[in-house]
């Protein structure tokens, strides 16, 4: 199953919530993303059907191995692209917003080249 950009965004958000170490449900995703309950419910159903997430009897959500791989890939792109844009002088909020759009469309090949370039130039961490 091929995910659309919105599915990738949900998986990225689920990863971020998972990293906080506190169990969470769909309502927490609504609050994190600012989306309506029906929208999140529908998305969780699609992600569950695609076996990207599991939902236990209590409604708590977890990433499957496949879901985690995709989420980590998107989240890495977000972090690297944000850091790169900030190194160019873009403010943090704009860099994050632009990275959020770019992370879904950049090819694996172009991202790998960008990441290698940033690492070579020691630019792969956010500015202090």
The 10s digit of each residue's pLDDT in 53-73 is 999 999 999 999 999 999 999
What is the rounded average pLDDT of the residues 77-102? 94
Residue finishing a domain among 30, 48, 68: 68
pTM for the model stands at 0.84
Asked if 12 and 62 sit in the same domain, the reply is yes
Asked if 81 and 112 sit in the same domain, the reply is yes
| 128 within a domain of the structure (yes/no) | no
Range of the domain at 104: 74-120
* Non-local CB neighbours of 41 within 8 Å, separated by 6+ positions: 26
Residue finishing a domain among 68, 89, 107: 68
DSSP label of 53:
E
Ranges 29-33, 112-116, 123-127, most confident: 29-33
DSSP label of 4:
P
Nearest one of 58, 64, 66, 70 to 24, comparing CA atoms: 58
Find out whether 17 and 32 touch, Cβ atoms under 8 Å: yes
Token pair listed for 13: 């958000």
């Amino acid at each position: 199953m091929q995910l659309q950009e919105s599915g990738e965004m949900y998986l990225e958000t689920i990863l971020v919530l998972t990293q906080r170490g506190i169990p969470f449900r769909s309502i927490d995703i609504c609050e994190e993303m600012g989306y309506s309950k029906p929208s999140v419910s529908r998305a969780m159903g699609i992600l569950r059907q695609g076996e990207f997430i599991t939902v236990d009897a209590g409604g708590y959500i977890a990433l499957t191995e496949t879901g985690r791989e995709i989420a980590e890939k998107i989240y890495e792109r977000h972090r690297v692209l944000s850091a790169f844009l900030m190194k160019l002088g873009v403010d943090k909020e704009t860099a994050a917003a632009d990275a959020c759009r770019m992370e879904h469309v950049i090819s694996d090949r172009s991202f790998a080249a960008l990441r290698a370039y940033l690492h070579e130039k020691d630019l792969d961490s956010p500015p202090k």
